[in-house]
Amino acid sequence: MFCLSLRLTHEQGPPQHDHHLRTAPTERSRVRRAEDRGHYDSHIIHAIVDAAYLCHVSFVDERGPLCLPTAVWRVNDHVLIHGSNGSKMMKSLAQGTPACLAITHLDG
């Protein structure tokens, strides 16, 4: 088993309580459609990750785009994903290949 850690980063600014920290959206991650539904507060992002068991990791390799399901969990400000240290996904991500991690919750 191999786990890859992805850090949730926060905006620079005055010290705040952890539940008030905001993850700074990048130009790629900023919500554009229905912007009022986008949230960047750490406690909301942490709750979404904490309630998930599964995520999908997308990346591109020499064969083309891939989207793979895997287990996900959080430890402090790190999102961890499960995978084999021999898998193409983990090898690619460890080398710095750009990727997208998606968590979906279907409620009701």
pLDDT tens, 42-72? Answer: 888 889 899 999 999 999 988 999 999 999 9
Q: Which residue from 20, 15, 3, 11 is spatially nearest to 82, judged by alpha carbons?
A: 3
E strand spans, the chain: 2-7, 54-61, 64-75, 78-83, 99-102
Residue predicted with more confidence, 33 or 12: 33
pLDDT category, 26, cuts 50, 70, 90? Answer: confident
Q: Enumerate the β-bridge partners of residue 64.
A: 61
End-to-end Cα distance, the chain: 34
> In the predicted model, what is the mean pLDDT of the chain?
80
pLDDT at 69: 96
pLDDT tens, 74-89? Answer: 998 888 999 888 899 9
pLDDT at 14: 40
The overall pTM is greater than 0.85: no
